[in-house]
Structure 1
Amino acid sequence: MGKSLIPRAKYLMGAFFLYNSITDFDIDSVKNTFSSKGFSEPSIFRLGKLTLWLYKKQLINYDNFVLSNDDYSLFATGTVIYKNNTYQDSLLLLLKDFQTDCLEINKLKGAFCLFFFRQDHLYMLSDRTNIYHIFTNTKNTIFSSSFLAILNAQKTKAELNIDACLEQLLTGFVTPPDTIISGIEFYHNNCIKNFTNPNLTFLNQGQNDQINETFDFHNFDTAVEKQILNLKTYYSSISNFAIENKLDIGLSGGFDSRLNFLLSKYSLADTQTHTYISQDHITEAMIAEKLAAKFNVPLKKIKLNKAISKCEEELIYNFEDALFFYDGRTNFSMGTYNDVHTRKLRVSVLGSYKLGLNGLGGEIFRNREHLPSKINFLDWIRYVLMKPSTVYALKDKKQFEYMLYYILSKYKKLVNLDSTEFSNFSLYYARKLFNYIWIPYAAGIKNSAENQLSFFLMPFTDYMIGLNALKATPFIGIDGKFEAAMITELNEEVASITSSYGYRFNKIPFVSKIDSFIKCIIPIRIKYLRHIYHLQKLDRNIGASIFLPLLDKYHIINKIFKVLNATQIPINWNRIMLDKPNMERTLYLGYFLLRFNKKIDIGN
């Protein structure tokens, strides 16, 4: 592949690259990585025996560091809010409190990585949720907010981590400490003891502290009121920051964007909204218009073009844009080659609004999969976590048992679960895994991408918001009634606008409740087998013809398939392409391997 097709940004974007000053690495390749992302030259700081390359955000020209006169300094990436201050005041107060040893961790909001420099030594503090992603090499001599930068720092070809590739394809994301490249580790502050560098101290926010998980709400109404109170407090606590930067909020026809939109009013900030226009978004766009009109806020309508309608050059441009914007990583529904996941589109959306507020993670307030209170753990793995369409694509069915052990061994360490919790699996534990696994390591991919451009928050992913949402589990129900009640309590007029589900949130119809009840009582195993039956039927009747037109139309798709087939990943590529999200994720992975073929040994 040639040089990046993405034009260089006018301003700098938010990122860092930190290394032991004596470390030997491919400097030119690292610089080219950040250049391809749109970065200009970084500010470079010599910090004891470490060197830090620090980049500002692309669309914001604030300094993201504070240098004091008494040998104390602070460097920041991501989005950090401290004690309801503006960005720069947050940094100043953070450094002051660090100097006086009175840093109040529970007053931090956002997704970030902070570096405090004191007396020739560096200290690193990342957000408690682990939603701002950080990577390192196995020797822990290099750390970066960019996975691609660590990959390109290596002077020899890196091996593909087959297990992690399978995890990404099966679940949609990869959990720490692995990445899809052997020799690159995914940093997480739950297990900081696994990371060692004598010149760098990792500060712990207490993720593993004992947590009171008592279900302390007496009834449904009390539980709803408590969640709303927690959320109002959060949105109020970011008001000064939000007023300074102005809000951008995406609107759709579902629960989470509406809840986020209503709560954003407590930030008191100037707000714009946006929605997408395409054949697949007609209903959502109509709902977005009604929601924006209700509060008389501007609505940007962003036209999307399907990737398969593009010419070869346009498709490659999207691949290239999304590859660097999402840093070579993807999850189940984000970080692909579609317009909506490109940096070009996001820049056009933001304009002068510098703080994106996103509703990801709002699923914690409802039972999206209509799960019963007691769940067979293996069935949940096959149907909810891994998805039938990806399990069906495994070449060797014994691989499922191996991957089950591989993934769960990591989950146990990340969430501190024991075997009894898996044997007595329930809706609560499914929600717990969503909160402590999916939110940081799947949704966090989008957060890390967005934070390169401007400030970005996903309020429903806040550590304490998630913890308190788990306490409401007995009242969540088998559908979306709990979140619908929250929306109704906040504003019944807004709740009365018909959703993309076909009903109003302030009055869920009886037929929808019956439908949810039926979906809940059907055993997950039956749902799984039914899905497999339909996949087998689709495989027999259509098979490879579902993506053959792509091979005929695009040379780049042919190249991607040649690379995928050359790997040792035990996946039936024809079968995994039967499902659209799987197809998009697979092609993204293939383009990544093709683009960096000089850095990766794919094992052929």
Structure 2
Amino acid sequence: MLNAISVLLHGGNQDGYRRAARSMGRQGFESASRFEWMGGVLDAWGNPSQRSVENFAVRTSSGVACCVGPLWYRGRFGNPALDLLLVELGGVGRIDEMELRGNFALFLRTHDHCLLMNDVLGLVRLYASPDVFFYSTSWLATCAYAGGVALDEVAAAEYVLLGASHSDRTVARGVTTLPVARAFDLIQRKPQARLPMGIWDEARIPLSLEAAVDEICSHLQTVCREITMAFPGRTRAALSGGFDSRLIVAGLLACGSRPELFVYGQSTSDDVAIARTVAESAGLPIKVIDKSQLNRPVSRPDIERLVNNALFFDGLPNDGIYDAGADEQTRLEQNAGGCIALNGGGGEIFRNFFHLPDRPMHAADIVRTFYRGFDPKIFRRPDGLASWYHHLVASIVASLGLESLAAGRTLRRAEVELVYPLFRCHHWMSVNNSVAIRHGYYATPLVDLNMVRLAWQLPIAQKNAGKLESHLVARLDPAIARQLSAYGFRFSDGPDWRAHFSEWAHCARPVFARPFINSARRRLRGLGVAPDMSAHCRSLLPGEWQLDPVLDLARLPDNFAFARALAVEVAWRKLVA
């Protein structure tokens, strides 16, 4: 299958394109196909581990299409879907976004159109070079094309502290990502809007909880049925004690699918015990994957392992690169044999993700609530914290398409619900999804355009404490809903008084106080960077790090944040500078 694409428009830097091609080779990809047209050249790349899997690339009288990742259109999958997309784009000049599903990057060329796009929520990343002549699914390749990139301090701080840069900027200055709900128009050489005005407000609101459950379950069954038909006997799904993974499994079971299940964790953990019970109730075997055991033979990665991790994960994964090889191994196993790996990411659209009360909020409230889990003294620049707030607030507003509205305008409570899919998922979840499709089929089927339109305006009372999602699981598969969850209640019963009290207590916390509450919790739990981890990494990469003038790395909140600072350092010393 195809796992990466790169595009060079005419007039672009040929030396840069050769550097990008060398980067793709160093990342382990091999050239799979090439298409040249009057405006430029497209190169598609494959992962050797997926050689036996069909490529998604077609050339017809209607045009040329090339796709990375799983794609469905009007119920068709893969190349038949690409054929239909070309026919409609070439005929009426547009495609129906409501019928387009999957996690993918897509190139479409017809007589009048040349587009590079992803799923409309942008859950797979597409990068553009500073000169906007080069585009790729690979951040490392885009940096290689640009040559000698400098650090974007704002984006780098967001990556280290949050797990991803949370705007269209990336850690490499001038290298940008495709904004949400946009396509790169390669003829006009600019982003093109894909959704009509008012698409969110025009969504019909179900009149009751039961009606909402009916509509959401109907759509999820359609999605799961399409997956089952495209991957008969080749569906793998993660399972845990939480809501989202069980909802995925319930949807598959409702469609007659028998997925292969796996759970991450130690065999003695509560999460593994719950997952085993759920799997047993469905009559399905489950594999327990303990990454700590896989990493035990080599507890400390050396510099060669760190560079290999950076190449495997395209430089800057959500959790950094401090791993002895277990993460790479498990990802490859999930996709072996052309299987698709399903993940419940994005299922929080059915819950009160930010734990905010049911009233209008300002974008700054969301930043204080969710994006301030660190010591404010971590910033070395005098304006570091203020810049942090300003940039995140501006990015939240932009993700909702509200840039033209009055500064300081509060968000309707339903608009706050859109922040999760259009901002959080678009920027954070897209990093992991993009890494995953580099190595095989992967999808997060709980969050797509239709699902977001169904869920965003539902009353918060229905989402609180997982009430709505409990009903969804129980409707789709009563047997697995009757098993205990990590929250202490069975989804068949719905959230108990303790779950409702916990939700109320979270929402009642004043927004202004939440950074202080987070700080106190961090101190009580003794969180921080392990000294031996810091010392080991500093010994491998002596001298001043790229982020030392920006952040006090000794004040980072946890080991994952330090592993991300490490990823930046390895990228700049070994791969992009």
Normalising by structure 2, what TM-score? 0.88
Tell me which of 365, 379, 388 is aligned to 1:380: 365
C-alpha deviation, 1:150, in angstroms: 0.8
Code of the residue aligned with 1:384 in structure 2: it is T
Offset, 1:465:
0.6
In the TM superposition, residue 224 of structure 1 has moved relative to its aligned partner by 2.8
- 1:220 maps to 2:209: yes
AA of the residue aligned to 1:579: D
Partner of 1:531: 518
Cα gap change, 1:314/1:424 in structure 2, threshold over 3 Å: closer, same or farther?
Answer: closer
- The Cα of 1:67 is off from its aligned counterpart by 1.8
Q: 1:466 to 1:199 in 2, by over 3 A?
A: closer
- Following superposition, the deviation at residue 302 of structure 1 comes to 2.0
1:150 alignment partner in structure 2:
142
Letter in 2 for 1:51: V
> CA–CA distance in 2 between the matches of 1:254 and 1:336?
26
Mean alpha-carbon deviation: is it higher for 474-483 or for 338-347?
Answer: 338-347
- Counterpart in 2 of 1:272? 260
Check whether the contact 1:215–1:474 (CA below 8 A) recurs between aligned residues.
no
Q: 1:1-40 alignment to 2 at 5 Å?
A: 13-22=2-11, 23-40=13-30
| Aligned counterparts of 1:292 and 1:165: Cα–Cα separation in 2 | 41
After TM superposition, list the pairs within 5 Å mapping 1:366-445 onto structure 2.
366-374=351-359, 377=362, 380-389=365-374, 391-396=376-381, 398-417=383-402, 423-425=409-411, 427-445=413-431
1:537 to 1:313, Cα distance in 2 relative to 1, 3 A: closer
Matched residue, 1:107: 99
Q: C-alpha distance in 2, partners of 1:524/1:568?
A: 31
**Is the Cα–Cα contact under 8 Å of residues 121 and 199 in structure 1 kept in the other structure?**
no
Q: State whether residues 371 and 427 of structure 1, in contact with CA within 8 Å, keep that contact through their aligned partners in structure 2.
A: no
SS at match of 1:124: strand
Q: Which residue of 2 aligns with 1:585?
A: 564
2-structure distance, mates of 1:19, 1:392: 43
Look up the match of 1:3: none
- The reply to whether residue 181 of structure 1 matches residue 161 of structure 2 is no
- CA distance in 2 between counterparts of 1:208 and 1:335 reads 38
SS at match of 1:329: coil
CA distance in 1, matches of 2:527, 2:68: 46
Q: 2: CA distance between counterparts of 1:400 and 1:314?
A: 33
Q: Name which of 22, 40, 62 aligns with 1:50.
A: 40
Q: Which residue of 2 aligns with 1:84?
A: 75
Partner residue in 1 for 2:462: 476
Distance 1:198 1:412 in 2: 28
Distance 1:574 1:310 in 2: 28
Q: In structure 2, do the counterparts of structure 1 residues 548 and 307 end up closer, same or farther at CA, with 3 Å as the change threshold?
A: farther
Q: CA deviation at 1:110?
A: 1.2
Cα deviations by residue, 1:536-586 (Å, 9 ceiling, x for unpaired): 678xxx798x5222245x3x443457443x54653121111x424423333
Contact 1:321 1:344 in 2 (8 A): no
State the partner residue of 2:554: 574
| Residues 304 and 339 in structure 1, CA contact (< 8 A), matched pair in contact too | no
* Contiguous gaps of at least 5 residues in structure 2: none
Indicate how the Cα distance of structure 1 residues 502 and 325 shifts in structure 2: closer, same or farther if over 3 A, else same.
farther
Q: Does structure 1 retain, via aligned residues, the 8 Å contact 2:66–2:106? A: yes
Task: Report how far residue 247 of structure 1 moved.
Answer: 0.9
Residue in 2 that maps onto 1:343: 328
1:458 pairs with 2:438 = no
Q: Which amino acid counterpart does residue 472 of structure 1 have in structure 2?
A: L
Cα deviation code 1:47-78 (max 9, x no counterpart): 2241111124542521321122x472222222
Contact (CA 8 Å) 1:321, 1:343: kept in 2 or not? no
Q: Does residue 1:262 correspond to 2:268, yes or no?
A: no
Aligned partners of 1:300 and 1:349 also within 8 Å? no
Output the CA distance in 1 between the equivalents of 2:320 and 2:420: 19
Q: How big is the shift at 1:431?
A: 1.8
Of 483, 486, 489 in structure 1, the residue corresponding to residue 472 of structure 2 is 486
2:241 is the counterpart of 1:253:
yes
Q: Give aligned pairs, total.
A: 571
- Matched residue, 1:512: 499
**2 CA distance for matches of 1:309 and 1:589?**
25
Match of 2:291, as an amino acid?
L
Structure 1 residues 229 and 475: CA distance shift in structure 2, 3 A: farther
Q: Cα distance, 1:178 vs. partner?
A: 0.8
How far did 1:493 drift?
2.5
- The gaps in structure 1 that reach 5 residues or longer are 1-11
Structure 1 residues 201, 74: CA separation in 2 closer, same or farther (over 3 Å shift)? farther
Change in 2 beyond 3 A, CA 1:563/1:427: farther
Cα RMSD after superposing both structures: 3.2
C-alpha displacement of 1:142: 0.6
- Conservation of the 8 A alpha-carbon contact between 2:106 and 2:117: yes
List per-residue Cα deviations over 1:273-324 (Å, max 9, x = no partner): 1112427x72222222222222223322223127985647745465334422
Task: Please state whether the residue corresponding to 2:539 is helix, strand or coil.
Answer: helix
Distance 2:188 2:290 in 1: 49
**Cα displacement (A) at 1:462:** 0.6
1:160 corresponding residue in structure 2: 151
Equivalent-residue separation in structure 1 for 2:203 and 2:41 (angstroms) = 46
Amino acid aligned to 2:340: L
Deviation for aligned residue 1:269: 4.0
Q: Is the 8 A contact 2:71 2:77 kept in 1?
A: no
C-alpha separation in 2, matches of 1:270 and 1:307: 27
Is contact 1:543–1:574 with CA below 8 Å preserved after alignment?
no
1:259 partner SS:
helix
Q: Which residue, 55, 75, 99 being the options, matches 2:66?
A: 75
Instruction: Work out which of the residue numbers 210, 229, 233 in structure 2 matches 1:240.
Output: 229
Instruction: Give CA-to-partner distance per residue, 1:68-94, whole Å, 9 cap, x none.
Output: 2x4722222222112222323222333
Kindly indicate whether the alpha-carbon contact (under 8 Å) linking 2:4 and 2:137 is maintained by their aligned counterparts in 1: yes
Find the counterpart in structure 2 of residue 136 from structure 1. Answer: 128
State the shift of 1:346 in Å. 1.0
Aligned to 1:291: 278
Which residue in the other structure is 1:9 paired with? none
Amino acid at match of 2:507: C
CA distance in 2, matches of 1:128, 1:15: 18
Corresponding residue of 1:550: 533
For residues 22-50 of structure 1, the C-alpha deviation after alignment (integer angstroms, 9 at most, x for no partner) is 53234554233222322123322222241
1: distance between equivalents of 2:320 and 2:447?
19
**Aligned to 1:461, what secondary structure does the other structure show?**
coil
Task: After TM superposition, give the deviation of residue 267 of structure 1 in Å.
Answer: 4.6
Q: In 2, are the aligned partners of 1:274 and 1:349 still within 8 Å (CA)?
A: no
The SS at the match of 1:389 is coil
Residue 211 to residue 63, structure 1, CA distance change in 2 (3 Å): same
Instruction: Report Cα offsets for 1:231-274 as digits up to 9, x if no partner.
Output: 2233234443233x721100111000000110123454452111
The answer to whether the Cα contact below 8 Å between 2:108 and 2:115 also exists between their aligned partners in 1 is: yes
Query: For 1:248 and 1:410, how far apart are their aligned partners in 2?
Result: 35
Give the counterpart letter for 1:283 in structure 2. D
Cα gap change, 1:89/1:477 in structure 2, threshold over 3 Å: closer, same or farther? Answer: closer
Q: Quote the Cα distance in structure 2 between the aligned partners of 1:127 and 1:190.
A: 8
Question: Following the alignment from structure 2 to structure 1, what is the Cα–Cα distance between the partners of residues 543 and 269?
Answer: 37
CA contact (8 A) 2:338 2:441 kept: no
2: CA distance, partners of 1:127 / 1:207: 16
Checking the alignment, whether the CA contact within 8 Å between 1:170 and 1:391 is kept in structure 2 is: no
